[in-house]
Amino acid sequence: MPSPVKPHPRTPWQEFWYRFRKNKLAVVGMGVILLYVSIALFADFFYSWDFVVGNQIPNAFATVGTKAVVELGGKKVEHLYILGADNFGRDVLGRMIHGARVSMIIGFITIAFAVLVGGSLGAIAGFYGGVLETIIMRGADILLAIPNMLFALAIVAAMGPSFQNLLLAIGITSVPIYVRLVRASVLTVKDQEFVEAARALGARDGRIIVRHVLPNCMAPVIVQATLGIAQSILSATFLSFLGLGIQPPAPEWGNMLSEARPYIISAPHTLIFPGLAIMTVILAYNLIGDGLRDALDPKLRR
């Protein structure tokens, strides 16, 4: 028989990577995120936690590149303030690096929660239909009708500002998007013949949903999740900016902005750098999201 297969058959992953790679901006975005994630992972390696939360009053508002003596663990050492110091003399770069940790974690955990909960509900609603679908979808509609930030604010205000409550608030507000998205995809996939074939083979509903329906619904969810991470990070910085998220002295980009606000004219570096960090991370996630959308869109496939 003549060879029916291309000499190097690609797995779906290779196929995806081949197309994703063509979008240079998305690759740059991915590079930026990888950089942020690794910095966040090794934050303690660059600056110790005690140092970034401890006051160094004599060095308050040290400008970019200042060399100064700091107290660290009872000893006096010389330290280079690469991006300057804030109103308490704390290293801005150090605080940004430890703040990255919070932002990355919030982005991943809230969206993982939302995809898991929203995805399961959406899959059940789409697959089974009927009363169950009506209940789930109307619930999602109600959540969607409340402005996201207002709802998150309400949750945090009611339960008190803490890291867990911040995660919960942002996570819950992200859920309904995934309910709708997954339900819509499930509706288009569940009537295809391979799903009927699985049923004819005696597969149970759980297996049909997990093995046959959901894997064919993932593309829009992955795109939305990437854009959602950006939204979550932004929400978290916003809540922290308002004093409802991460509490000082723990560093977070939003509360760094909040603390720097009065000094925007006298010490702009305390505000500009955290602001830039937020901007680049959101931009990077959005670029990746756009790249993923193009790479996963079956209509653009050749």
Partner 1 sequence: MEPLLEVQHLKKYFHTGYGTLHAVDDVSFRIPKGSTLGLVGESGCGKTTTGRSILRLIEPTSGEVIFKGRNVLRASPSELRALRAEMQIIFQDPYSSLNPRMTVSQIIGEPLLIHRRVAEKRELEQKVRELMEKVELSDRLYGAYPHELDGGRRQRIGIARALSLHPQFIVCDEPVSALDVSVQAQILNLLKDLQEELGLTYLFITHDMSVVKHMSDIIAVMYLGQIVEMAPAEALFKKQLHPYTKALISAIPLLEPGGWKDEGTLKGELSSPIDPPPGCRFAPRCPMVKPECTEKDPPLVESVSGRFSSCVRAKEMV
Q: What backbone torsions phi and psi does residue 88 show, to the nearest 5 degrees?
A: -105, 10
- Closer CB to partner 1, 134 or 192, in the complex: 192
Q: What backbone torsions phi and psi does residue 251 show, to the nearest 5 degrees?
A: -85, 140
Indicate which single residue of 197, 210, 264, 300 sits in contact with partner 1 (rule: CB under 8 A).
Answer: 197
Least distance to partner 1, CB of residue 266, Å: 58
Q: Does 222 bind partner 1 (CB under 8 A)?
A: no
If phi over 0 gives left and psi between -120 and 50 gives alpha, with beta otherwise, what is residue 130?
left
Least distance to partner 1, CB of residue 138, Å: 24
Indicate which single residue of 199, 242, 250, 294 sits in contact with partner 1 (rule: CB under 8 A).
Answer: 199
Stretch that binds partner 1, among 79-87, 118-126, 187-195, 267-275 (CB under 8 A): 187-195
Beta-carbon contacts of 216 under 8 Å, excluding residues fewer than 6 positions away, are 185, 189, 192
Q: How far is CA 83 from the centre of its chain?
A: 25
Q: What backbone torsions phi and psi does residue 202 show, to the nearest 5 degrees?
A: 90, 15
DSSP-derived letter for residue 59 is G
Q: Does 198 bind partner 1 (CB under 8 A)?
A: yes
Q: Calculate the CA dihedral of residues 27, 28, 34, 40 and round it to 10 degrees.
A: -160
Side chain identity, residue 152: A
Q: Does 192 bind partner 1 (CB under 8 A)?
A: yes
Q: Does 302 bind partner 1 (CB under 8 A)?
A: no
Indicate which single residue of 21, 138, 211, 261 sits in contact with partner 1 (rule: CB under 8 A).
Answer: 211
Indicate which single residue of 58, 129, 215, 262 sits in contact with partner 1 (rule: CB under 8 A).
Answer: 215
Q: Does 128 bind partner 1 (CB under 8 A)?
A: no
Beta-carbon contacts of 201 under 8 Å, excluding residues fewer than 6 positions away, are none
Least distance to partner 1, CB of residue 219, Å: 11
Q: How far is CA 77 from the centre of its chain?
A: 37
- Closer CB to partner 1, 184 or 199, in the complex: 199
Mask 2-41, x = binds partner 1 (CB under 8 A)?
--xxx--x-xx-----------------------------
Least distance to partner 1, CB of residue 178, Å: 20
> Each residue of 220-249: b (16+ CB within 10 Å) or e?
bbebbbbbbbbbbbbbbbbbbbbebbbeee
Q: How far apart are CA 14 and CA 40, in angstroms?
A: 28
**Where do contacts with partner 1 occur on this chain (CB under 8 A)?**
1, 4-6, 9, 11-12, 192-194, 196-204, 207, 211-212, 215-216
